[in-house]
């Protein structure tokens, strides 16, 4: 029986890698591109916020298509979505300045890119159903590695040739993404056929895992403290949106360039890899609540150092907190939810967490853009620091009190 484990893992990592490379084009270099097209910071913030809102509505549409359609699975929906994005990406070649058409296309591209992320995350379970072990952490770490290398390189090219190269590069990356999706789909089909043949030969029957997904009202009743915790997580992640989407303004504010920004994003992504790669090993020694507190404190350290930064070197230094913040919090909160909730509840729990981050991002994009135009990056980072301290304090106070038994008598 041919083993597809390595093949499926490598191709899944390839999907993640090309996806995060496109994220680098459309999101990380968003400010540099749109400023060059004639938009101001407030308008960029609104574009980012609207894209986040649209993605909230688009995500369940894509999920329902992959779950309910008899002909389409998650990989097929991802492939079709990529083709649609390629068509829209061509529009960026045609439009050469600030316009309603550019506004609409960019919003849709960003929204679709954001909506694809949970779809790609869910592919881990779909691929695992083929009977071969999929290591999500390592595959996701591969995505961060690809992003780290790509943003470091593309920043140099943007500085040399201008933002005109971004639409062309974006189209090439989308074509590469489509190719990786097709490869993954083909391997999955062969693996599933092989599994079906093996099951038929053995005479065994496989019963699908069943679980009850509770209503949202029941979930809130059972998990009041968890809902409050997510309000503080939303506040905590204000800085994450600010530093990701307005890094160009932060870097140029201390004398840096788009090349510096690309390298900083590269360092940031590279430092996420150890936390994702070794999280299971770390979790064996420390509880999720301890790790989440530690990551929240690291978020404070990162944004405070950015606020105090008066040079590009200090901006680099601030991002070394990324080693302990984002990746640990991301993996930790997912694991924490799975530990304190039954599977049916956990489905709601993950949705609540994702929604909280998205809503926080909407407010951060709007507020960040306005503050930048009115007062500049220093004031924006000062506000971010205060909010991060509040968010971290809420995590410290609540994370240890949340106990499934105490909330579900």
Tens of pLDDT, residues 275-297: 888 888 898 899 989 999 999 99
Q: What is the pLDDT of residue 195?
A: 67
Distance CA 309, CA 147 (A): 24
Task: For residue 203, name the pLDDT band (cuts at 50, 70, 90).
Answer: low
Mean pLDDT of 223-239: 92
Distances (CA, A) of 63 to 73, 78, 81, 175: 9, 10, 12, 22
Q: Is it true that 1-208 and 218-409 share their CATH fold? A: yes
The CATH number given to 218-409 is: 1.20.1250.20
Kindly tell me if the per-residue pLDDT of 154 is higher than 50.
yes
Dihedral angle computed from the Cα positions of residues 407, 409, 352 and 127, in that order, rounded to the nearest 10 degrees:
120
Q: What is the pTM of this model?
A: 0.81
Bigger pLDDT: 332 or 130?
Answer: 332
Least confident piece of the model among 80-84, 123-127, 140-144, 385-389: 123-127
Number of Cβ within 10 Å of residue 125's Cβ equals 11
Range of weakest confidence among 43-57, 113-127, 307-321: 113-127
**405: pLDDT strictly greater than 50:** no
- Between residues 257 and 208, which one has the greater pLDDT? 257
Q: Say if residue 74's pLDDT is above 90.
A: no
pLDDT in tens, 115-148: 888 777 767 666 666 666 777 778 878 888 899 8
| pLDDT: which is higher, 306 or 97 | 306
Task: Report whether pLDDT(404) > 60.
Answer: no
42 versus 353: the higher-pLDDT residue is: 42
Residue 408: is its pLDDT beyond 60?
no
Q: Is 314 exposed, middle or buried (0-12, 13-18, 19+ CB in 10 A)?
A: middle
Domain ranges of the chain: 1-208, 218-409
Question: Cα separation of 236 and 296, whole Å?
Answer: 8
Q: What are phi and psi of 325, to 5 degrees?
A: -105, -85
3-38 confidence digits (pLDDT tens): 667 777 888 888 889 999 999 999 989 999 999 999
> What confidence category does residue 90 fall into, taking pLDDT thresholds of 50, 70 and 90?
very high
Closest to 159 (Cα-Cα) out of 305, 292, 36, 20 = 36
Distance, CA of 399 to chain centre:
23
**Is residue 406 very low, low, confident or very high in pLDDT (cuts 50, 70, 90)?**
very low
pLDDT at 161 > cutoff 60: yes
Domain 1-208, second-level architecture:
Up-down Bundle (1.20)
Query: Higher-confidence residue: 128 or 1?
Result: 128
CA distance 241 to 260: 19
* Residues sharing a CB contact under 8 Å with residue 104, sequence separation 6 or more, in sequence order: none
Query: What does pLDDT average to over the chain?
Result: 85
pLDDT of residue 97: 86
Of 125, 110, 349, nearest in space to 226 by CA: 349
pLDDT of 348 reads 77
């Amino acid at each position: 029986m041919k083993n597809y484990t390595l093949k499926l893992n490598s191709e899944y990592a390839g999907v993640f890698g090309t996806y995060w490379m496109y994220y680098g084009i459309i999101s990380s270099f968003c400010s540099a591109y749109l400023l060059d097209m004639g938009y101001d910071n407030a308008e960029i913030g609104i574009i980012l916020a609207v894209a986040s809102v649209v993605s909230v509505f688009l995500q369940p549409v894509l999920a329902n298509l992959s779950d309910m359609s008899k002909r389409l699975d998650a990989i097929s929906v991802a492939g079709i979505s990529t083709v649609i994005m390629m068509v829209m990406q061509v529009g960026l070649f045609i439009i050469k300045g600030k316009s309603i058409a550019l506004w609409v296309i960019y919003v849709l591209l960003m929204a679709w890119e954001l909506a694809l992320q949970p779809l790609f995350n869910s592919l881990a379970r779909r691929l695992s159903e083929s009977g071969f072990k999929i290591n999500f952490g390592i595959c996701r770490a591969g995505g961060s590695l690809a992003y780290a290398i790509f943003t470091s390189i593309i920043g140099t090219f943007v500085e040399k040739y201008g933002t005109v190269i971004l639409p062309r590069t974006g189209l090439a990356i989308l074509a590469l993404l489509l190719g990786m999706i097709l490869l993954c789909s083909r391997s999955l089909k062969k693996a599933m056929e092989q599994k079906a043949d093996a099951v038929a030969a053995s005479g065994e029957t496989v019963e699908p895992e069943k679980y009850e997904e509770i209503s949202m009202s029941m979930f809130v009743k059972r998990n009041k403290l968890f809902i409050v915790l997510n309000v503080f997580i939303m506040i905590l992640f204000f800085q994450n949106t600010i530093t990701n989407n307005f890094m160009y303004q932060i870097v140029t504010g201390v004398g840096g360039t788009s090349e510096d920004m690309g390298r900083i994003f590269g360092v940031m992504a590279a430092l996420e890899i150890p936390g994702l790669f070794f999280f299971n090993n770390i979790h064996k020694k420390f509880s999720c609540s301890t790790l989440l507190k530690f990551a929240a404190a690291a978020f404070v350290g990162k944004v405070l150092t950015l606020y105090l930064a008066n040079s590009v070197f200090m901006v680099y230094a601030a991002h070394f907190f990324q080693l302990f913040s984002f990746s640990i919090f991301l993996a930790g909160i997912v694991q924490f939810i799975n530990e304190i909730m039954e599977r049916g509840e956990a489905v709601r729990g993950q949705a609540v967490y994702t929604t909280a981050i998205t809503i926080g991002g909407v407010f951060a994009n709007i507020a960040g853009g306005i503050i930048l135009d009115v007062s500049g990056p220093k004031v924006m980072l000062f506000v971010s620091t205060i909010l991060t301290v509040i968010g971290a304090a809420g995590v410290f106070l609540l994370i240890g009190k949340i106990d499934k038994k105490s909330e579900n008598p």
